[in-house]
Amino acid sequence: MTKTYPNDIQNVDLVVLGAGPAGVAAANVASQEGADVVIIDENSSAGGQIYRAPPNEFKPHDSFKSDEYQEGEKQRKILKNSNVKALFKHRVWSISSDLVVSIVGPNGLSSCHTRSLIIANGALERIIPFPGWTTPGVIGLAASTILLKSQFVLPGQSTVVAGCGPLLIAVANGIIKSGGKVSAIIDLNSKSDWIKASPRLLSRPDQLFKGMSWFANIMKAGIKIYGGHAVTNTKQVDNVLKISIAPINSAGSIILDSKYKKVVEGDCLAIGHGLFPSTEITRLLKAKHIYDPHKGGWVPLIDDDFRSSIPGVYIAGDATGISGAFSAVQKGRIAGMTAVRDLNLMSSKKYKVKIKSERTTLKKNENFGKAAVILMKFRSELIQTITSETIVCRCEDVYRSEIDEAIESGARDMNQLKAWTRCGMGPCQGRTCSEAIEAILASKVGSRELAGQWTGRTPFRPIPIDQIIGEYSYDDIPIPKAAPL
Amino acid sequence: MENYDVAVVGGGVMGCSTALYLSRNQMRTIIIDSGALCSEASGTNAGTLTLNMTRAALIPYAIKGWELWNSTEKWLHSSIGTRKVNGLSLAFTEEEEELLYDRVQARQAMGAPIKLISGKKAQRLEPGLNNSVRSAAWCAKDGFTSAYLTGHAFKRALTQENSAVMEYSKVKGIENDKNNFKIYLENNEHLIAKRIVLAGGVWLEDMLNWLNVKIPIKCLINQLIITERMPQVMKTVLSIANGLLSLKQFDNGTVMIGGGWQGLGDKERGGVEAIPENLKGNIRLACHVIPELCYGRMVRVWLGLEAETADALPVIGNVPGISNAYVIGSVHSGYTSGPYMGWLLSQFIMGQETEMPLFDPSRLIN
């Protein structure tokens, strides 16, 4: 049914979606085994979020060339020297069940017919709303890392870094290293939460050491850390953000009593409440999903070899569950080898041997990653900060009170809630608000499983209409036969 | 195991409005749907309330339906964002002009207040139009709703009328047992009702099968496209002569592109996937009609199912050969006339003379 476009790519063995660590590893290993591989990414080069490259025009000063930058350069070089066909600045906007990948790029529409598909589209940042979260100057932790790593821009003159997990330390350290000022760190986790997570961190002593050195930088800079605290409100007063914070008690409740409230200030609030796997593509394909808080949230169901519930479709990296960049490499390699094995491009004997060593490394790296997941897990107490007057869906300006009213009048699943309130209908297609809205609904209907997920829809990102239509005349339009009169 | 005067199976516009009118007439009513009310065709269609795309035979019904949608505050006690605007069906070629003339005449004959106008006049009504338009069919009785709000409105109204609403409950079979119907649910419970109304849209064929009545019903998979909010580019509801475009801009600035371009799917799996080539064709057509649309961005695509009988006319009336069993559905452009069709069937069930004739399903049994 699908017509071919002029720049169609036919008969590819494997298409890899996403050129982060998992996607690059998958593409490389499959290509080394002789598979004909295409990797597609909307960015201008490989690296994903973690090893995101500066724009090609940028010539970074040596002091900006962090370990991550070096690792990214290494991966970009390996990919460049491989036989993998890389389509950067290209966006996938639809995938059919017979694995025709629809692409939009600088030259308009194209498509790629493939025998197998690896989805390595990573993770999204969870930001649970609070009054003032849409104020200018409030940005995500992940967005801050992009500014620091790729644009060499400080998020603010004086930044309050808040939320949870390793990104908190990474962003604070990144700001200090770039010569900026961190005015405070607000950590949802208490000291004891970090201590509880630390045994797993020992599985990668090199990384633990790196984290400790970042932490030492933060201590040296004399930055006040509020452990076991949540941001409850942000107000802008003359270019200054007045950020209210409150302690979290041992039972996991935010103590909203004004007696315990503190106010910190800055011109920027960088905040993130953890990462969750990106499921836009697997939902569109109607793959089976399960909700697993230990993996960061909803994940596509996969077998031990990273096969999804759909034949020919594999998942790799954080999209299978948050576990970080190191384990993403093994996940990518295993998925890549499984795909070529299933295409009979690799002997079963060779596959078994190779997979075994990957699994050992994966286990070690995953253990390290799990510590991060524990620190970034969804905390239901954050729903307390979403007051009735807080906007939850910022694309469509849907307030918490409207969500509550809809649930009150009988909305029982995510799609119904969307239809009744327009939440999740805007340009971001629910990437920003799904976690908060699912959590609110789940708290009323009993579980995330009962609340369900929004149906996946094409295109995954808004696509400019002029790119879709291209040059054409009225006669070119294949108008179907007239409707009955 | 409660007893009802009537059980409606299928909670779309037709099932909901039938149930609503029956419960207003003191019938103990239950409506059952495998999902949420109006979450299939009734909630996912383009919301167009147009006579320019309606089958000629259905024009009198569609006018009544159009009036109901324009007065939801009265009978549904809530707003679903109905807007009354001008509707234009356009011709860009000589062939399209011929088709347009024929269709306008047929619709006028059935009472549609549609007028043929020149391309220039059409451009005055819709300044965003491509100036290559040759002529148009103009109808002041046109407009749209926000279809996704339909389910919420009906749920509130039905609850207020004390009709039982059973969502997320799949019916797996119906047994005709002397003076009653036994309705079996997937959780192995069952309900008893004196009368049943089958209102299952594209699943009507399977439902009729429970009663051993065979009427083939085809399932169309319509693609729908919505843009991001954009500055005002149009103010009318637009179509083309052969009916394969529906185009409108909502108050919030989003533009809906539809018209029945097909995607993949079937009644077993629902809408499976959009066909990119058909999306491109549909969007090209929309941009030909309103050139400024090309500055927008496509945000979301979905698929809506539509039921069609062999003669593309509705089935509304008695289930052939089974007393106290009724069926309603397969109405072309059925969203517009849906609430009126529900009201007609409720008249019929209550033993009154119907305001307009029904569509006897027995004609479709060979």
Q: Does B272 touch chain A (CB under 8 A)?
A: yes
Task: Report the mean per-residue pLDDT for chain B.
Answer: 96
Question: Is residue B334 in some structural domain?
Answer: yes
Q: Which of B308, B325, B353 is the last residue of a domain?
A: B308
Integer-rounded Cα Rg, in Å, for chain B is 20
Question: Is residue B66 in some structural domain?
Answer: no
Inspect the interface and report whether the beta carbons of B276 and A472 lie closer than 8 Å: no
| Same domain flag for B155 and B275 | no
Query: Nearest-CA neighbor of A287 among A315, A259, A316, A325?
Result: A315
Cβ atoms A118, A15 nearer than 8 A: yes
* B136-151: average pLDDT: 96
CA distance B118 to A105: 40
Residues 6+ apart with CB under 8 A from A213: none
| Same domain flag for B195 and B277 | no
| Same domain flag for B231 and B295 | yes
Question: Is residue B54 in some structural domain?
Answer: no
Residues of chain B contacting residue A426, judged by C-beta atoms under 8 Å apart: 228, 299
Output the pLDDT for position B33. 97
Q: Does B235 touch chain A (CB under 8 A)?
A: no
Cβ atoms A158, A270 nearer than 8 A: no
| Same domain flag for B302 and B322 | no
The tokens describing B267, both together, are 């009644």
> Which residue type sits at A324?
G
Q: Mind telling me how many Å the CA of A313 is from chain B's nearest CA?
A: 16
B334-349 vs B13-24: helix crossing angle, rounded to 10: 30
Closest residue in B to A461 (Cα–Cα): B299
CA distance A306 to A210: 30
Residues 6+ apart with CB under 8 A from A195: none
Output the pLDDT for position A2. 41
| Same domain flag for B283 and B257 | yes
CA distance B97 to B95: 5
H/E element, A32:
helix A21-32
Output the pLDDT for position B111. 97
CA distance A16 to A332: 10
Question: Read out DSSP for A236-285?
Answer: EETTEEEEEEEEB-TTS-B---GGG-EEEEESEEEEE--EEE--HHHHHT
Q: Mind telling me how many Å the CA of B98 is from chain A's nearest CA?
A: 13
Chain B residues 183-222 within an 8 A CB cutoff of chain A: none
Is the pLDDT assigned to residue A1 strictly greater than 50? Answer: no
Question: Is residue B71 in some structural domain?
Answer: no
| Same domain flag for B270 and B303 | yes
Pairs of residues, one from chain A and one from chain B, whose beta carbons lie less than 8 Å apart:
143
Q: Which of B265, B280, B308 is the last residue of a domain?
A: B308
What CATH number is attached to the domain comprising B190?
3.50.50.60
Please state, for a pLDDT cut of 90, what percent of chain B lies above it: 97
User: In this structure, is the dihedral angle defined by the CA atoms of residues A98, A99, A103 and A107, taken in order, positive or negative?
Assistant: negative
Residues 6+ apart with CB under 8 A from B31: B7, B8, B11, B15, B16, B19, B37, B158, B163, B164, B165, B166
Question: Is residue B210 in some structural domain?
Answer: yes
- Quickly tell me which residue has 């949608």 as its tokens: B69
* A298-306: average pLDDT: 98
Q: Kindly list the structural domains of chain A, giving each domain's residue range(s) and its CATH number in brackets, ordered by start.
A: 9-124+276-373 (3.50.50.60), 127-273 (3.50.50.60), 386-451 (1.10.10.1100)
What CATH number is attached to the domain comprising B95?
3.30.9.10
Inspect the interface and report whether the beta carbons of B301 and A406 lie closer than 8 Å: no
Q: What's the pLDDT band for A481 if we cut at 50, 70, 90? A: confident
CA distance A390 to A400: 6
Residue of B34, B39, B152 to mutate when probing chain A, most A C-beta within 10 A: B152
Q: Does B283 touch chain A (CB under 8 A)?
A: yes
End-to-end CA separation in angstroms for chain B: 37
CA distance A443 to A447: 7
Dihedral, CA atoms, A393, A396, A400, A406, nearest 10 degrees? -110
Cβ atoms B58, B65 nearer than 8 A: no
Q: What's the pLDDT band for A142 if we cut at 50, 70, 90? A: very high
Q: Mark B155-178 as b/e (b = at least 16 C-beta within 10 Å).
A: bbbbeebebbbbbebebeebebee
Residues of chain B contacting residue A3, judged by C-beta atoms under 8 Å apart: 277
Output the pLDDT for position A59. 78
Is the pLDDT assigned to residue B13 strictly greater than 60? Answer: yes
| Same domain flag for B130 and B15 | no
| Same domain flag for B200 and B322 | yes
Is the pLDDT assigned to residue A3 strictly greater than 60? Answer: no
Q: Does B92 touch chain A (CB under 8 A)?
A: yes
Question: Is residue B13 in some structural domain?
Answer: yes
Cβ atoms A412, B168 nearer than 8 A: yes
Residue of B55, B244, B276 with shortest CB distance to A479: B244
Q: What's the pLDDT band for A6 if we cut at 50, 70, 90? A: low
| Same domain flag for B297 and B254 | yes
Residue of B148, B268, B290 to mutate when probing chain A, most A C-beta within 10 A: B148
Inspect the interface and report whether the beta carbons of B43 and A419 lie closer than 8 Å: yes
Residue of B260, B294, B300 with shortest CB distance to A457: B300
Question: Is residue B182 in some structural domain?
Answer: yes
Question: Is residue B237 in some structural domain?
Answer: yes
Dihedral, CA atoms, A452, A453, A455, A459, nearest 10 degrees? 180
ipTM of the complex: 0.92
| Same domain flag for B298 and B286 | yes
Output the pLDDT for position B30. 98
Cβ atoms A155, A194 nearer than 8 A: no
Other CB atoms within 10 A of residue A380 CB:
13
pLDDT tens digits, one per residue of A315-371: 999 999 999 889 999 999 999 999 999 999 999 999 999 999 999 999 988 888 888
Q: Mark A444-460 as b/e (b = at least 16 C-beta within 10 Å).
A: ebeebeebbbbebbbbb
Residue of A94, A427, A466 with shortest CB distance to B294: A466
* B323-340: average pLDDT: 96
Q: Mark A318-356 as b/e (b = at least 16 C-beta within 10 Å).
A: bbbbbbbbbbbbbbbbbbbbbbbbbbebbeeeebeebbe
Q: Does B105 touch chain A (CB under 8 A)?
A: no
Q: Which of B284, B308, B332 is the last residue of a domain?
A: B308
pLDDT tens digits, one per residue of A260-271: 999 999 999 999
| Same domain flag for B222 and B299 | yes
pLDDT tens digits, one per residue of B126-135: 999 999 999 9
pLDDT tens digits, one per residue of B168-208: 999 999 999 888 999 999 988 999 999 999 999 999 999 99
Number of domains into which chain B is organized = 2
| Same domain flag for B302 and B330 | no
pLDDT tens digits, one per residue of B17-73: 999 999 999 999 999 999 999 999 999 999 999 999 999 999 999 999 999 999 999
- Quickly tell me which residue has 């004086």 as its tokens: A158
Task: Report the mean per-residue pLDDT for chain A.
Answer: 93
CA distance B171 to B164: 15
Domain span at residue B115 reads 86-141+218-308
